[in-house]
Amino acid sequence: MPECILEVVLDTPLNSSFDYRWVSQSGEAPAVGQLVLVPFARREVVGLIVGVKHETDVPPEKLKDALAVRSQLSPLPERWIALARFAADYYQRPVGEVALPGLPKNLRVPKTVALDRALKKMAKLDIVQDVAAANMPVLNPAQQEAAAAIGQAQGFAPLLLWGVTGSGKTEVYLQACAQVLARDPQAQILIMVPEINLTPQLEGNIRARFPGAMLATLHSSLSEGERMLHWLAAHQGHARIVLGTRLAILASLPNLKLIVIDEEHDPSYKQQEGLRYSARDLAVWRARQLDIPIVLGSATPSLETWHHAQSGRYKRLELRERAVRDAVLPRVRLVDMERDRPRDGLTGDLLAALRSRLERGEQSLLFLNRRGYAPVISCDACGWISNCTRCTSFMVLHKLEHRLRCHHCSLELRIPRHCPTCGNVDLQPLGRGTQRIEEGLQAMFPEARVLRIDADSTRRKGSAQEAFDTVHRGEVDILIGTQMVAKGHDFKNLTLVGILNPDTALFSQDYRAAERLFAQLMQVAGRAGRAGGAQSDVLVQTRYASHPLYGALVRHDYERFAGGQLAERREAGLPPFMYQALLRAEARELATAIAFLEQARDCLPSETILINDPIPMTMTRVHNVDRAQLLVESSSRPALQAFLREWVELLRAMKSRVKWSLEVDPLDI
């Protein structure tokens, strides 16, 4: 029987592939891209074949036999493996830690029961599809021009679709998709959104527009069985449109012809655990690899994307007006809280605006990006505050659940009856979260239908969509929400947005804070007045009404804001004019983490790479673990990558019990 050696990558931190002997029963060797069951340590695990050869350096007595090849599943394309290799190389991780987690969990278990069941279901589907578009609305001239530019683009073409909120970017995406599918009925299109709660509305629009085409969705809220079926539909080429969050960029799509990244500026596209990849950046690389167009859509593009558009690397398509006739951008007004003192967190101007909307039967939205009842409780007698005992953070008061909760380590405690330090029974909440604002509104407007949407009120699967459906049906007068309500939602009867407590971001040490705040405020302001008709208003409660950021917001002037931010970044030597990597270390004692980082700093001197001194992280302690970081910078991306490859090998060889991780292109410093 013919014998060969399989080169296999596994989901393990070991930065190497593993050789296994394969003795064929049929006379055929397995193919690159197939999954294989192999013994590893004392377990049986699933790996990915990345090479088939006839010789190995492993001694014969140590060479183990592969157990089974998943021949019922067609091999993963070589271009998909190349994508995994690129991500592994760029983000300094083993290939197996990229490739295997990118597959559905049911593909990575030793037994094939779930795979066989899913393949049987797929075999029963009618894959004869009609990809013709239906119910095509008439576009305005700017939309027509943008859709034509996308639909007719040839080869690798990065396109920034920059449009004001409510300008009809989604309709441009759909009509561009229709052109691609009309030209190639076998084509696949990947559409990505930053958050799971944005998928139902867009999924409904896609199904209405392409009723005869198979649509697959990929996000973490799917059950493992559902994710397997949808992944198979994409992998086998049956799904013409794939809609998903950041994990969808690692889907196997053999006929991919167009990629759309909606809200491309959103930080949710950056994975913050394990492989810390940027789905947006991988999407651009994948489009270049496949020589296909990619659309990056946003009303407030990231400064990196805007810089590329300014320099000519990306083509800019503009939508400067709202798509609905008579719909204009909302009027933004700053409410100075030094002059108009708030009552229960709401100023007189905002209360009057809420009352007028209630009288007219219109909807209002209050945006506060802080869940819970209050950020902290305190004792006026001795100064005690509700610090978390495991983190350098506060325990947030959740009054409805009668709990104090840390939003970092999830520690929960009962609300104390008296001060733990002095015994004072008069403990007071400080600050306001969405729960406290909701309580105040219900007292001030007892006749109003008030709904709160945040991570606490939408824990149950499907509850977020139920809540948004309630708003769309007009069964809510005042909506209170966090960033979950800030983007992607088209509330037809909403004419007032109130923005509460945005000032804290103005004083953040994070150089990206202003960019994020401006994008967030522009997005949430854009929820108002999308259906046309009555004048819509946005009231921003602030103590810093003269701040330039708010001035740009009042004028809806993203161009001036972005220009100013880029000028500051250039002068300060910050991205996108500098490339960065961040080494983080975790230990039981901060001194141990700092000592490891100091050793890392000194182990590979470089004249072209700036290696900063280690410092404690802003959130120094989380779940009884101390954390520190070391920032590495270079004006040359290739130089930084070359340094990181050598540096990571030295770090892996260092004998230390410190847990460390490296993030390339970090978003939070």
Model confidence pLDDT, tens digit, residues 352-373? 999 999 999 999 999 999 999 9
Specify the pLDDT at position 516: 96
Q: Do domains 141-319 and 331-564 have the same CATH topology?
A: yes
Taking the alpha carbons at both ends of the chain, their separation in whole angstroms is 57
Model confidence pLDDT, tens digit, residues 199-232? 998 999 999 999 999 999 999 999 999 999 999 9
Please classify residue 661 by burial: count the beta carbons closer than 10 Å to its beta carbon, then call 0-12 exposed, 13-18 middle and 19+ buried. Answer: middle
3-class DSSP assignment, residue 129: coil
Architecture of the domain whose range is 579-664: 2-Layer Sandwich (3.30)
Specify the pLDDT at position 2: 66
Pick from 79-93, 358-372, 478-492: least confident: 478-492
**CA 389 – CA 398 distance, rounded (Å):** 17
The whole-number average pLDDT for the span 543-557 is: 95
The whole-number average pLDDT for the span 418-444 is: 94
Pick the CATH number of 3-76 from 3.50.50.60, 1.10.600.10, 3.20.130.10, 3.40.1440.60: 3.40.1440.60
Model confidence pLDDT, tens digit, residues 160-197? 999 999 999 999 999 999 999 999 999 999 999 999 98
**What is this structure's pTM?**
0.94
Query: Position of tokens 């290696």?
Result: 611
Residue 1: which pLDDT band, with cuts at 50, 70 and 90?
A: very low
Residue 25: which pLDDT band, with cuts at 50, 70 and 90?
A: confident
Contacts 24+ apart (CB under 8 A), 505-513: 506/544, 506/547, 506/549, 509/618, 510/668, 510/669, 511/569, 511/572, 511/574, 511/669, 512/667, 512/668
Model confidence pLDDT, tens digit, residues 574-595? 999 999 999 999 999 999 999 9
**CA 276 – CA 132 distance, rounded (Å):** 38
Architecture of the domain whose range is 141-319: 3-Layer(aba) Sandwich (3.40)
Q: What is the CATH number that goes with domain 331-564?
A: 3.40.50.300
- What would you measure as the largest C-alpha separation in the chain, in angstroms? 88
Pick from 300-309, 640-649, 652-661: least confident: 652-661
3-class DSSP assignment, residue 435: helix
292 pLDDT more than 80 = yes
Contact in structure between 7 and 49 (CB atoms under 8 Å): yes
The whole-number average pLDDT for the span 315-340 is: 93
DSSP class of 61:
G
The whole-number average pLDDT for the span 509-535 is: 90
Query: Position of tokens 């509305």?
Result: 201
The whole-number average pLDDT for the span 460-488 is: 91
**CA 5 – CA 74 distance, rounded (Å):** 20
**CA 645 – CA 142 distance, rounded (Å):** 46
Q: What is the mean pLDDT of the chain?
A: 94
3-class DSSP assignment, residue 100: coil
Domain boundaries, given as residue ranges, for the chain: 3-76, 141-319, 331-564, 579-664
- HSE toward the beta carbon, residue 261, CA cutoff 13 A: 31
Token reading at 57: 């350096």
